[in-house]
Amino acid sequence: MAGIDFQALPAADDVGRDMHELVRELFPICRSITGNGLRRTLELIGERVPLEISEVPSGTQVLDWTVPQEWNLDDAWIEGPDGERVVDLRDSNLHVLGYSVPVRERLPLTALKEHLFSLPEHPDWIPFRNSYYSPNWGFCLQHRRLVTLPEGEYEVCIDSTLEDGSLTYGEAFVRGETEDEVLVSGYADHPSMANDNLSGVALMTTLAQHLAGMRLRYSYRFLFSPGTIGPITWLARNEERLGRVKHGLVCLCVGDSGPLTYKKSRRSDAEVDRAARLVLRDSGEPFEVHEWEPWGGDERQFNSPGFDLPVGTLTRSAPGSFPEYHTSADDLDFVRPEALGASFHAYMSVFDVLETNATYVNLSPKGEPQLGRRGLYRSMGAGPDAGVDEFALLWVLNLADGEHTLVDMAERSGLRYAQVRDAARTLEAHALLEVRA
C-alpha cells in the first residue's frame, strides 16, 4: 500500500499559484458546450497532460439525449439609437446568451428588452445565461446599463453559427497497477468564469500531472467535458466498461474561500463517501457534508439509477450557494491560490485513503502481542502526542479481525486516518499484521 507520495508533492501555496495561472490563461476563451472555444481549452490542457480527444457528431443518440448542433460565435453587439455600441462581446463573453441563433435586425427598445437579461439585485454584474436546447437569441448585461437605455431603434448583431458539427471531450488517463479506476469528472464548457468552472479544470489538470509517475494501485481517469451532455455522451459510449469505475469525484468550484464541502453519492455510504468525510474531518478546518440530492452538476448522470456509480462531489462553496455563481463576479479575484492549493491537497488525501484502505488481519490475535519486546513502546512519554500512536497500534490490532478496513478503524477510533494507516504500516513491518487475502 504505497499510497500518495506526499513528500513528492509541491507545497499548497506553490501549486495553488500554478493553478491560478492556468485559470488566468483559460479565462478569456469563449466556451460553450460545443465549438472551438471548448476545443481550444482542451488543447491548452493537453499541453500539460496527455489528453485523448473524442469528437461525437451532432445528431448522435446518447442515452435519452441527442448530441446538439455545434455552436460558434464570432462577434456580437447592440447599437443604440445614436449609433453608440451599448453592448459588445469584446468586453465580456458573458454578454451573449449561450447558443444564440444568428440575428441581424433593427428593433425598438420594448421588443429588444424581451431578449435582454440582467440581475437587478446585483446591478453591476453580468449574468450567465444559455438556451442550449430551445432556439433563441439574447444578450446579458449589467442592470445599471439596462435601465439607462433610451427609447428608440436598436440594431443587434449576433454573428454565430449553429450547424452540424460535433461535441468534444477529453480524457487524461494515469495508469495504475490495476484496471480499476478512479473517475474524476468536471465540466469545461463555461465562458469567462473562474470558480465555476475553471478552478475544477485547473485542479483536474494539476492532479493528473502530479499522479503521473507515482506508484498507484488504481488507474485515474480525468474527464473534461461539457456539462450534462458531456457525461451523458461519455456514459453512453463507455457503458460496457463502467464496472471498472470503483470510485469517483465530480470536481468544480474548488477555488473560492468557502469551506470544503462534500456531497455524498446516491449510495451515501460508498467508500469514496467515507474517505472524503474522513479527509475533511481530519483537516482541522471547517467543512460541510451534504446528503445526496438529484440536482447539481455532473454527479446527476453518474448517480442516475441505471448506473448508480459511487461518485461524490468535492467542492468548496457548493455550486449555486454563493451570489457570484453564474455571473461576471465569478472572476479571477474570486478564486484564491491558497484555496486552490488546499483543494489540491484535499483531493490527494482522498486518493491516499482510496489507495491505502484495506482489510487487515492481526497475526497474533490472542491477547495483546508484546509490543515492548518489538520496540513499539519506545515513544511512550516521549512527547505531547507520544501516546497517540500507541493508541493507533492498539486500535489497529484490536480491529484487525479480517472484517474491518482502515476506514472503519479511523471512523470508530476517532483517530486521524493517517495515524491508523501509519500504525498498520508499522505493524506490517513487524509481521504482526497482514492484508486479508
Residue closer to Zn ion (CB basis): 187 or 395: 187
3-state secondary structure at position 389: helix
Residue closer to Zn ion (CB basis): 26 or 396: 26
Virtual CA dihedral for 346, 351, 353, 359, nearest 10 degrees? Answer: 170
Residue closer to Zn ion (CB basis): 18 or 196: 196
Considering only residues 196, 324, 352, 355, which one is a binding residue for Zn ion as defined by CB under 5 A? 196
* Closest separation in Å from C-beta 351 to Zn ion: 25
Residues 6+ apart with CB under 8 A from 429: none
* Closest separation in Å from C-beta 433 to Zn ion: 46
* Closest separation in Å from C-beta 294 to Zn ion: 17
* Closest separation in Å from C-beta 198 to Zn ion: 11
What radius of gyration do the chain's Cα atoms show? Answer: 25
Residue closer to Zn ion (CB basis): 274 or 326: 326
Residue closer to Zn ion (CB basis): 71 or 351: 71
Which residue intervals of 88-142 are DSSP H helices? 109-113
Q: List C-alpha distances in Å: 409 to 13, 198, 282, 393, 417.
A: 32, 37, 14, 11, 8
* Closest separation in Å from C-beta 197 to Zn ion: 6
Residue closer to Zn ion (CB basis): 117 or 391: 117
* Closest separation in Å from C-beta 232 to Zn ion: 16
Residue closer to Zn ion (CB basis): 196 or 256: 196
Q: Is 414 left (phi over 0), alpha (psi -120 to 50) or beta?
A: left
Query: Residue 164: how many CB atoms within 10 A of its CB?
Result: 11
Number of residues counted as binding Zn ion (CB under 5 A): 1
Taking CB atoms, the residue at the shortest distance from Zn ion is 196
* Closest separation in Å from C-beta 188 to Zn ion: 11
| Binding map of Zn ion across residues 142-181, x = CB under 5 A, - = no contact | ----------------------------------------
DSSP 236-261: HHSGGGGGGEEEEEEE---SSSSPEE
* Closest separation in Å from C-beta 239 to Zn ion: 26
Cβ–Cβ < 8 Å for 345, 284:
no
3-state secondary structure at position 183: strand
Stretch that binds Zn ion, among 191-199, 233-241, 339-347, 356-364 (CB under 5 A): 191-199
Integer Cα distance of 315 and 249 in angstroms: 10
Show contacts with Zn ion in window 378-397 (CB under 5 A). none
Residue closer to Zn ion (CB basis): 296 or 310: 296
Stretch that binds Zn ion, among 8-16, 137-145, 192-200, 343-351 (CB under 5 A): 192-200
3-state secondary structure at position 71: strand
Cβ–Cβ < 8 Å for 339, 19:
no
Binding site for Zn ion (CB under 5 A): 196
